[in-house]
């Protein structure tokens, strides 16, 4: 067992609480606060699944529910198929297997209890990122009955994977302050680990709260495992954020290729280096933020390839200070590697996106 890809400092994981788990029959160690995906990356596990028809290796691509590759079967304590490793909270004793797009349905005879609740509120906020937190706070301060629902175990959303600052305050500190004030408002109810499943006529929403899935084999006996919420709201605010859109290029399905925002999240939130050497392909300024965060975490960022021909001048000195090559008007045209990415080819492109020069 090795966690060689775990960064020595940083992250929101608890280094004093190691957890043991297994994946595909092999034992590993992670930390409290990890997801199954971040723990696998920390242990250097590149291949988490295989393609259905051609048995091509698949690696972790994202850091949230948009993950297309890392589909897993949880074997204990409750068997459950087709979960994304990026959203499974790590707990001691977790057992999981990678899937090639197919799961196993097993009769659940564990004796777990499931229940439902009905609730009414003035304002229902879906998503506890920066926009959702502010919406809930503004409504709560007015005295309205507020429900704030988020699928993660802590508020903050995308802020938790960045080093951004809000009004001069570190994002993590701002989130803690805001969440703390929400806790003091008597008419505000915050439900974490809760996913909205559907929105229907007359502002009727259904949500699923996972109450004990993260507690392992011995959850409190007085708690139901999962709860379905039926909610009627006067107003609904959807602040669910957005998913980063991947860029298409030849052989872009190899393990080691992931969304820039995901790589940034693993570094900043989970203190995990997804690799040792990186190339960042981008079409907007967020790619530069990812490259800088990766470089500051000790990852060798060889280059930033920006498909745009013109970019903001503010990025050049920041990249030069970190010895990162900037390739404006370039794009990735292909990759090589067996079980993991080993190299990428980059070429100049014209205004239409066509290749306009030899590849490096």
> What DSSP assignment string belongs to 158-225?
GGGGS--EETTEEHHHHHHHHHHHHHH-TTEEEESSEEEEEEEGGGEEEEEEESSGGGTT---TTS-S
In this prediction, residue 151 carries a pLDDT of 96
Residue 133 to residue 182: CA distance in whole angstroms: 9
> What is the per-residue pLDDT across 136-166, written as a single tens digit (0 to 9) for each?
999 999 999 999 999 999 999 999 999 999 9
Residue 152's nearest CA partner among 199, 230, 214 is 214
Q: How confident is the model over 244-269, as a mean pLDDT?
A: 96
Average pLDDT (67-89) is 91
Q: What is the pLDDT of residue 106?
A: 75
Q: Summarize pLDDT for 83-126 with one digit per residue, the tens.
A: 999 999 999 999 999 987 777 777 766 778 999 999 999 999 99
Q: What does the angle CA 208 – CA 210 – CA 211 come to, to the nearest 5 degrees?
A: 125
Q: In whole numbers, what is the pLDDT of the chain averaged over residues?
A: 94
Q: How far is CA 155 from CA 48, 124, 292, in A?
A: 28, 15, 25
**Tokens at residue 40, please?**
């696998």
d(Cα 182, Cα 200) in Å, to the nearest integer? 27
Q: Are 192 and 154 in contact (CB under 8 A)?
A: yes
Residues 6+ apart with CB under 8 A from 309: 328, 329, 351
Residue 221, pLDDT score: 86
Domains and CATH numbers, the chain: 14-98 (3.10.20.440), 114-238 (3.50.50.60), 276-348 (3.50.50.60)
CA–CA dist 347, 206 (Å, integer): 48
Assigned token pair, 243? 């998913």
Cβ neighbours, 10 Å, residue 127: 23
Q: How far is CA 250 from CA 24, 319, 330, 335, in A?
A: 29, 27, 15, 7
Distance CA 167, CA 146 (A): 25
Give the pLDDT confidence score for residue 103 in this predicted structure. Answer: 79
298-339: pLDDT as tens digits:
999 999 999 998 899 999 999 999 999 999 999 999 999 989
Confidence of residue 345 (pLDDT cuts 50, 70, 90): very high
pLDDT value of position 74: 92
Q: Report the candidate in 309, 35, 12 with the shortest Cα–Cα distance to residue 161.
A: 12
Q: Where are the alpha helices (DSSP H) in the chain?
A: 36-42, 130-141, 171-184, 260-268, 286-296, 315-321
pLDDT of residue 216: 86
Do residues 306 and 326 touch, judged by C-beta distance below 8 A?
yes
Q: In this predicted model, what pLDDT tens digit does every residue of 188-234 receive, in sequence order?
A: 999 999 999 999 999 999 999 999 999 988 888 889 999 999 999 99
Q: What is the token pair recorded at 39?
A: 């723990």
Distance of alpha carbon 25 from the chain centroid? 24
How far from chain centre, in Å, is Cα 85? Answer: 10
**Model confidence band, residue 30 (pLDDT cutoffs 50, 70, 90):** very high
Round to whole Å and give the CA distance between 254 and 63: 16
Confidence of residue 1 (pLDDT cuts 50, 70, 90): very low
Q: What share of the chain in percent tops pLDDT 90?
A: 87
Is it the case that residue 342 has pLDDT exceeding 80?
yes
The pTM of the whole model exceeds 0.75:
yes
């Amino acid at each position: 067992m090795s966690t060689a890809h775990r960064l020595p400092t940083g992250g929101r994981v608890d280094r004093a609480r190691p957890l043991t788990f297994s994946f595909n029959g092999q034992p590993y160690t992670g930390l409290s606060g990890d997801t199954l995906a971040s723990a696998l990356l920390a242990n250097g596990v590149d291949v988490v699944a295989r393609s259905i028809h051609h048995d091509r290796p698949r690696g972790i691509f994202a850091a949230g529910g948009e993950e297309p590759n890392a589909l897993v079967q949880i074997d204990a304590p409750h068997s459950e198929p087709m979960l994304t490793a990026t959203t499974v909270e790590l707990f001691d004793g977790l057992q999981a297997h990678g899937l090639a797009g197919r799961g196993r349905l097993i009769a659940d005879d564990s004796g777990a209890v499931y229940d439902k609740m009905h609730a009414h509120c003035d304002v229902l906020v879906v998503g506890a990122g920066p926009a959702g937190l502010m919406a809930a706070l503004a409504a709560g301060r007015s005295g309205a009955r507020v429900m704030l629902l988020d699928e993660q175990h802590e508020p903050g959303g995308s802020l938790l994977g960045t080093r951004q600052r809000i009004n001069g305050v570190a994002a993590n500190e701002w989130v803690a302050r805001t969440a703390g004030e929400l806790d003091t408002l008597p008419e505000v109810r915050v439900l974490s680990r809760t996913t909205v499943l559907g929105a229907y006529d007359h502002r009727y929403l259904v949500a699923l709260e996972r109450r004990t899935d993260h507690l392992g084999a011995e959850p409190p006996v007085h708690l139901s495992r999962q709860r379905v919420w039926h909610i009627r709201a006067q107003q609904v605010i959807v602040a669910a954020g957005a998913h980063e859109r991947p860029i298409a290029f030849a052989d872009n399905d190899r393990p080691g290729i992931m969304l820039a925002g995901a790589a940034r999240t693993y570094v900043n939130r989970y203190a995990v280096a997804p690799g040792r050497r990186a190339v960042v392909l981008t079409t907007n300024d967020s790619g530069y933020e990812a490259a800088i965060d990766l470089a500051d975490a000790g990852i060798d960022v060889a280059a930033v390839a920006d498909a745009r021909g013109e970019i903001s001048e503010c990025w050049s000195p920041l990249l030069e200070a970190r010895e990162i090559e900037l390739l404006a008007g370039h794009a990735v045209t292909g990759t090589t590697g067996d079980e993991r990415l080993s190299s990428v080819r980059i070429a100049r492109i014209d205004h239409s996106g066509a290749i306009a020069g030899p590849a490096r």
